[in-house]
Chains A and B, each alone.
Chain A
Amino acid sequence: MRAESLKGHLDGLLLAVLEAGPRHGYAVIEALRSGSNGTFDLPTGTVYPALRRLEAAGLAQGAWSDATGRRRRVYHLTPAGRQALVEQRRTWHQFAGAVNAVLGGGAA
């Protein structure tokens, strides 16, 4: 799936990936790939500015870590990020339900 198709949803997807626990950029994109069974195969670089954007918005917090013996920037969800994720999930379920109702073939 192309990056353009995910426009408007990337932030929510990244928040959902971070919900499971702190991750560094490459682990985030790998989780996005594996979680979508390879459907969301974005250019790996895409995720880094997006994570910085979430950080600027106060939804994620990044910090440098040497825990694995390698210096890397690890991101975790902030309380505001968790709240934003709940809100995005609710909006998505509402939207997906409506699209499904029409596209699913059940409409009269």
Chain B
Amino acid sequence: MSRPLPVADLLEQVEDAAARRRLHGYLSTLAAGLPGSARSRRDILAEVGDGLLESYQAYRWDGQRPTVAADSAVTGFGDPHRLAAGFAGTLAGRAAHRVGLGLVLTGPAVGAAWVAAFARRTGLDWPAQLSAMTSVVPVLGVALAVAVPAALLAAAGTGRTAYRWRGMSRFLPLPPRTAATLALVAAAACVAADTGLLFGLLGSASTGAGWTPVTLLAGAASLVRLTVVAMCARRVATLRAAAG
């Protein structure tokens, strides 16, 4: 028994049971291949279901028998797996844009919190602060060198900005899978940096360096970002895989 579709009531308008099953089967296959949130899946199925029903009705008005009209509508819509992949691509591009933008926007704030935390030990000397950070987390420099450009590209290579700038580069807007890959790379580097900083924080506490309110704030900021980025990266990976 197949799961009830959110558009089942829409298909009630199809008078013939066999034709209804045919249309339902198409939408079920599409639903099975659709990634994303329950809401976006429901919206997509409602939109495609409406179009499929309209197509079926157009064939009926042309004089086709119900089952033939349903077959014509389904054939006209094309492979449901390809359609699901098309939607996944669009969703992957959007998700990659959000991850990139989120990292670009939160990066300076989280970074500033950590610099402030290390400033207590090294004084207000920027090179010394950075040196202190990289000595605690050796991977930090590499992680930043990877995360910053990848996040910038994922954010700027998709969405409205990319379309506005498409005249400047033939690579814009980025294909959704490329944008998703960049977002995943940026997310992985960010997770590595935040994890390293949090381990560094735990290590410094064990050596008696002590935790200050600023250090705790920086740690909390990294922990929150780490959790959110990991969740978003999982979603981007799912969408990227579904985009084919």
A residues contacting B by CB (< 8 A) are 24-26, 29, 43-46, 48-50, 52-53, 56-59, 70-73, 80, 84, 87
Contacts and interface: CB of A to CB of B under 8 A. Distances in A.
A71 B240 CA distance: 30
Q: Which 8 A-B pairs have the closest CB atoms?
A: A43-B78, A49-B86, A58-B160, A26-B51, A45-B83, A57-B163, A45-B77, A45-B78
| Chain A interface helix/strand/loop/mixed | helix
A72 B47 contact: yes
B96 to A, nearest CB: 11
Given A46-B86, A59-B163, A71 B93 contact: no
A7 B47 CA distance: 23
Given A57-B173, A58-B159, 13 more contacts: A25-B50, A26-B50, A26-B51, A43-B79, A44-B51, A44-B55, A45-B78, A48-B51, A48-B83, A57-B160, A59-B163, A72-B47, A73-B43
Contact of A49 (B46, B90, B173): B90
B86 A58 contact: no
Given A24-B50, A25-B47, A57-B173, A43 B76 contact: yes
B167 A87 contact: yes
A7 B104 CA distance: 32
A33 to B, nearest CB: 10
Interface string B212-240: 00000000000000000000000000000
A49 B162 CA distance: 18
Nearest to B51: A26
Contacts of B89: 49
If over half of B's interface residues share one DSSP class (helix, strand or loop), that class is named, otherwise mixed; here it is helix
B35 interface: no
Contacts of B76: 43-44
Nearest to B76: A44
Contact of B90 (A56, A59, A84): A56
A26 B86 CA distance: 17
Contact of B51 (A25, A52, A58, A71): A25
Interface string B118-148: 0000000000000000000000000000000
B50 A58 contact: no
A53 B174 CA distance: 12
Contact of A56 (B54, B86, B159): B159
A49 B83 contact: yes
A56 B128 CA distance: 44
